[in-house]
Structure 1
Amino acid sequence: MEESNLTGNTKVFEFSEEKMSKVSEIISNSMFFTMTCSSKTEAQMCSILLLEFLYFSRYKKTVQRYFGGSAAEGTNIKTSDIDKMIVGPNIYVCSDPAEGQMVRGHVFLVDSSDCSQGHAKLVLLKTDETIPTIFDEHGKTLNDMLEERQDGKRLLSNEKVVSFWMNFLQKRETATGPPGTSRHGPCATAKNTDPQGYIKSKIGGVIEQDFAHGIPFCSHPPVGKDWLKDRENFKWPSKKVVEKIKSLTCHIVAVGDKMSEHSDVEWRISYLLWERELVWSFNDIQLQCYVLLKVLLKKYIDPVAPEELSSYHMKTIVFWESENIIDNFWHPKYLIQFARNCLLCLKGCILNCTLKHFIDRGKNLFLWRLRDPKVKDAMLNVIEEIIQNIIRYSMQCVEGIDLNTTLENSDGNVEEFLRKCRLDHDPRITYDFNESREPLRLFHYGEASSLNVNVETVLADFSTLARYKESFEENDRYIKDVHASIKIPVKKFIHIRSAMILAKQMLLSKSFSSEEFQKLTNFMDENSDLDAVSGKLYVATCFVAFKKYDKGAEVMKKIYAASKKSDTLIYAGLCSDCKSMCVSGGTLIQDRGLPRCSLPQTKYLSIFHDVIFAQGDLPLLPDALKFECFVDKVFLVHPSVYLLYLKILCSKFTEKRDNISQLENAVYECDVTLHTYRHFNILGYCYFENGDYEEAFKCYRISFSRTVDNGRPNAVIYMLPILVYSILQNQRFDSDSEIIYQR
């Protein structure tokens, strides 16, 4: 092994092919657990298809919303934004006038004359004022979007369409008010902060969403048909994937060639649905290489050449390099070799200023780019440096595991590096890899159903939930590819939410029979097996709200009894960094790592989610959570914390102290995430109700400290004055209470 100096005092280690393959396997295994893998992408695919399906159902199967980019692919990194394409009803484009005449609705003819490859003008072929469009529903008409030229042709203006969407977005109300809007290519971009950290895992993180207006083709455009036909000559993508792609629509989106004289009326052909299907078919190594290239781009290439390259370019490179690779290449030991091949391909494309679109192969993605020779040379130098020291740069891109320091401490000796990895790092990346595959897959499935879908579903009203329920019962073709381990829990959660709304109405009206209440709780119980724990807690919530504490206690006994039938459960939520929990003997024990365990046949019953409530649930919620409704539209509670809180409410006076002690342990076990302040509010309120004012104040003080720096709304501002008032009423002016009063 030779060692040479790079910039500064950085060492360059050169590895033989055999040694590189060993290190490559460690990098691949590390990325598998901390960044990306096919099970994460599969879960994200299911989640995205469900979100799109529910959106389509919500808008009575007229308006469609498709996710694109990393948000759809499961390849997101910290800088990733969210891409969405909105497709309204009754507007189509076609390449053949005869074909367009057969379609009911407003039809535009694709005219690609005097346009660069992949772009076209949309000439109105036929229209029908009796058929509404998405513009009519928001104060405009299709005619308002047209531009008439001197030759009499009526063209659809991309400028007017994007302006329409920007105006539409500005009127939307979100949790933080109307979003800031701007134009980004074919998209109207909306920027909001993430007040709860659900999306960015950071309080106040910027959520950037790009909305493109897409118009579907009546049938595949000629270039798309040619690409599909040509797939017979290649091993990737598989025939199964190609057949799936054939069933998917192509679209045209509102952006022209920026160098064109008539760019304001040009549109770009989009293969969004085809391309995300290609990424969804990626194996672990393809995904890891793609994410590796994205991180290398953001960390090392962008600083010397801002906005010259994009993640889309990296994805295209992976597409091209995947086309002719034999099956036995897809092994972790080849990850670095594959990444190196992609970088060499990228380098060649930059040298020639040509990167062909993977589907529209006459289109150059580097057109009008790389025009500054100095910037181009700087990019080539950085890429060459990465290629020459690919191991080190790859390690610096791995999140959560510091392989680079381990390599330094091993002085580049591969055997020593492997030994230190076994000693110093998570055993899953060395000797315990295969045993952890299935638990990780289930963890991603749990995240997909609960965090991605249910957080949005919890805000739906009863009529919308009924629409969702009807769509599920139709067994709609849109979600045939969604795995049952994700589809079934979401369906059951929709039923639970419907029942909770009915329970709230019963509670407020006070006019219901015992038979009606029994029927409702039976229905909730039938759907409570959406996971191992939280589903049953919704049933217990209902019993506690109606002061049927014995029934609530029975539900919690069922949770403990059911948990004895399986090994440790997998936690897929945001309220704790412990990823597993053992429930037995009336106690809850959390563990930071994923379990290594045998799993029951009904896989989603190995998972438990956060308990999710909405502001409108206030009448049903126990007192400590009522305060949370004053500050958050949606909020999460860790199931172990909430279970123990309900247990306290349902327990006898003599048992309360012991149960509060168990709750305190659970709260502190969770105390590292963005949501733990709420747990301290719950614990503090339990102490308050038990007359332990000093302990209550300690909890409230900790809760306040968790949110004071980020300005996050915290229900403690309501709970503290009540505590102080109670102290004054009870005239408890000992020294500690005096401090509470003064503060």
Structure 2
Amino acid sequence: MEIPEHFTELSIRFSEVLDDSGAGKETVLERRRIFLWRESMETIAAKLWGDKAECFHFGSQTEGTTTPGLQSDIDILCSNHCVNIMTFLGDWKARKNMNFLMLYDETMPPQQYLLQVIQFNTPSPETSRWFYNFVRKESGQVLYSAERCKQDQQHLIWTRGSGMTTEHGPSVSWVPNWDIVQAFHVLKQLPEIQHWINRCRGKPWPPVQVLEAARVAPCFLLPACHPDSVYKREEWRLSSNLIERMLMFSLNMTQIKCYIALKLIRKSLFANIVGDYITSFHCKTIIFYTIERTRPSLWVEHNLMFLLWLCLNVLRQCLRCGRLPHYIIEGVNLFDGKLSKVKQRRLYVFVDSMIKKNLHYVFYIGIDDIGCRLQDCSMRRVVQVKELQRFTLCNRIRLVLKYESLKDFFSRLLGIIRQLSSNTTFEVDIQHVLRIALESYINNRLKTKITTALKFIKHIHAFYNSTKSSDCLRLQNVVNTEIISRFQYSLNTDVASSRLKMASILYCSGHIHAAVKVLEDVDNWYHIMVKAVCGCRYKDKNHNLHQYANMLSGNSDKVFLESPFAFCVTFCRRELYCTPCILLFEMNRNITDEEVALRGYVEKGWMVTAEVDARSFLHYLQYLTYRALGDHDNTENALGRLGSCIYDEKNKINLYHPETTLNLLGHCYEMEGDYELALELYEKSLQTYGKNNAANWHVRRVRRLVSG
């Protein structure tokens, strides 16, 4: 083909537009870094929780192949290491919870397997259906049912009260925009993978390093059947997600942008023709085949439109013959069960027209205003403005990614801490958890896993110090300097929460001057760009990129150097004696047992603890300490700043526990002797949350005080 003259200029413009839309190299690499960090965090959290599972993030978010407008889901796969998947009976292992043998016969579609149950104590097939998930095949073999495995997940979610589940392919999820798949590791070498490796040897792409890594990379069995299968309830699908991710990580930026461009075309243009039946995985497969068949030297920025043209030619050819082969697993047609023959013909006509018109349709891509930006001829004249906008968008995306990863980390951390706190063998259990975290820190070579393990260690160590301080105060002993000095190892967990815990301990132990110094230090760190992070409650607006504009209004370098996030401050019952008295009511929020029944699964976890926003707690502690010192001016200032947490509109996006802040403010006015205003604030708190709110206790108490 003779490349149209305008393709070169359009390629460079398209590449720049993708940069401006959040698909530049820095953002791609940041997405990968954050999601690999989340992957290691979730795996380590599972270990600390006592689960033998490994978590993986796959898909567009982890690959960095998305933009804000594409609104890509988060794909997570959890693999259970309690199960041993065998390719023949010689792989049987004793002391495993389950041993399953992969079965395949000629009547089954490629990529699909049945799992035969093998006995615990001997490598012999199971003969009894003693477990609900076991079903019997016509031949008499006992199988592990994929469908019943998914039903187990739905039932577990339902019993937890986590809300409605959504089922999408192998995913059973209770989180919006998340695909959560429970799967099994396959650690043995499989003929499907070896066949692909042999086919690719000697080619410029995939790289030799990827092929070598693919030989030892695990595959997964997902609970999903083939649409034409006889065993719809029993089948498991073989997935090579990890190999596909390695392939994506081997691509250069032009290849990444070409893939993103394909996805934009799919969602903006193809969706109008065939709906969602063409998926991102179809686009990924097309880009793999195109790269494999194209000279590496062609994959440069100024050829982007021509390369996109080649990809569409591959798609057109597949639509013509009615078959898009899986890139790795031979014999699989990705159109099966997705794209009917009628839809294939419709899409073929559109793609053919798009190719013949030299990709003119790209000017009609609506997502991220791609089409409009491509048509904007003046865009190249305002380079400085464009660079600033690109830089700002990139930093906003970085902040959103960081915020979401910290929110998930904090949620898991609090779950571990609450579990430890409720155990009667607390000392033994916390030492066990710290040992597991330390092993994860020492035994890993990957930097992401090392930093994640260290983060858990710091937070759990801070919690342990806090409980030891509470024990000292309970026994009416002085909190010794050794315990206080240990806090230095965990003060930098975030901007404020660990320091505020330390200030609370100092205040409760009577070291008022020392508490004031710590609070002054927190106040200096707590600048306007700090974002609150809560592990209990969720705010939709926190995923809106515009909400992060204030954090970048000052020195953006400072934002990223100082990690501008503050966790909510949490006190559990083991920390009673280093918790300000008013917060003890927060550990007993309900007046009646009926209120407890109204709590969801997540609320049942955190409502037995005291949870308070860091900024609110900072100003409340400042009020207490300055009042104890008789510093009237600073006391009034702290009271005013605590009130601004509620009444200043710009603070509301960072307020996750408004009822608790109102209760703290009400208590301050109680101490001031203004019972009417205190009562008004408590009642306002009840207007925010009428049930499971400690304000119910405060209202009763203040009314008794008023009535004498």
Q: TM-score, normalised by structure 1?
A: 0.71
1:244-265 per-residue CA deviation (whole Å, 9 max, x = no partner) reads 5444322223333221233444
What is the CA distance between 1:222 and its match in structure 2?
1.2
**Pairing 1:317–2:317 present:** no
Map 1:272-283 to 2 at 5 A: 272-279=241-248
The 8 Å contact of residues 217 and 250 in structure 1, kept in 2 or not, is answered as: yes
Alignment of 1:74-223 (within 5 A): 78=71, 80=73, 82-94=75-87, 96-97=88-89, 99-100=90-91, 106-123=99-116, 126-129=118-121, 141=130, 145-150=134-139, 152-171=140-159, 173=160, 177-181=161-165, 184-187=168-171, 189-191=172-174, 206=176, 209-214=179-184, 216-223=185-192
Instruction: Give the Cα separation in 2 of the matches to 1:662 and 1:426.
Output: 38
1:392 counterpart = 2:367: no
- Determine the structure 2 residue equivalent to 1:658: 637
The answer to whether the Cα contact below 8 Å between 1:534 and 1:611 also exists between their aligned partners in 2 is: yes
- The 8 Å contact of residues 683 and 695 in structure 2, kept in 1 or not, is answered as no
Contact 2:103 2:114 in 1 (8 A): yes
| Identity rate, percent | 17
The Cα shift of 1:28 comes to 1.7
Matches within 5 A, 1:202-351: 206=176, 209-214=179-184, 216-236=185-205, 238-279=207-248, 290=259, 293-294=262-263, 296-302=265-271, 304-323=273-292, 341-351=310-320
Amino acid at match of 2:506: F
Alignment-mate amino acid for residue 38 of structure 1:
L
Q: 1: distance between equivalents of 2:696 and 2:95?
A: 63
Matches within 5 A, 1:33-52: 37-52=28-43
Q: CA deviation at 1:55?
A: 0.7
- 1:469 is aligned to 434
Quote the residue 2:623 is aligned against: 648
Change (3 A) 1:327 1:370: closer
One-letter code aligned to 2:111: G
**How far apart, CA to CA, are the structure 1 residues paired with 2:443 and 2:352?**
45
Change (3 A) 1:277 1:696: farther
Determine the structure 2 residue equivalent to 1:584: none
1:417 Cα offset (Å): 2.7
SS at match of 1:529: helix
| Residue aligned with 1:252, SS | strand
- Equivalent pairs counted in the alignment come to 653
1:613-624 equivalence runs, <5 A? 613-614=569-570, 616=572, 619=576, 621-622=579-580
**C-alpha displacement of 1:607:** 0.8
Distance 1:670 1:242 in 2: 55
TM-score (norm 2): 0.74
Q: Is the 8 A contact 2:278 2:339 kept in 1?
A: no
**Cα-to-partner distance string for 1:557-602 (whole Å, 9 max, x where unaligned):** 4446789xxx99775857897999xxxxxxxxx9431765667xxx
Q: 2:55, 2:76 within 8 Å by CA — same for their partners in 1?
A: no
Q: Match of 2:624, SS?
A: helix
Q: Partner amino acid for 1:270?
A: S
Alignment partners' CA distance in 2, 1:683 and 1:719: 9
Asked if structure 2 preserves the Cα contact closer than 8 Å seen for 1:353 and 1:370, the reply is: no
Please give the alpha-carbon distance, in whole angstroms, between the structure 1 residues aligned to 2:543 and 2:179: 31
Structure 1 residue 682 corresponds to structure 2 residue 671: no
Residues 68 and 23 of structure 1: is their aligned pair in 2 closer, same or farther, counting only changes over 3 Å? closer
Distance 1:672 1:180, change over 3 A: same
Q: What CA distance in whole angstroms lies between the structure 1 residues aligned with 2:635 and 2:500?
A: 19
Structure 1 runs not aligned, ≥5 long: 1-13, 193-205, 581-589, 708-712, 732-743
- Counterpart-to-counterpart distance in 2, 1:417 and 1:369: 40
Distance 1:694 1:168, change over 3 A: closer
Larger helix percent: 2
Query: Is contact 2:58–2:76 with CA below 8 Å preserved after alignment?
Result: yes
Q: How far 1:51 sits from its partner (Å)?
A: 0.6
Contact 2:115 2:143 in 1 (8 A): yes
Query: Helix, strand or coil for the counterpart of 1:91?
Result: strand
- C-alpha distance in 1 between matches for 2:6 and 2:376: 9
- What whole-Å deviation, never above 9, does each CA across 1:307-327 have from its counterpart, x for those lacking one? 422233233334444446777
**Unaligned runs of at least 5 residues, structure 2:** 421-425, 590-598
Residue 536, structure 1, aligned to residue 504, structure 2: no
Is the Cα contact below 8 Å between 1:186 and 1:254 reproduced in 2? yes
CA distance in 2, matches of 1:688, 1:673: 20
Please, what is the CA RMSD of the aligned residues? Answer: 5.0
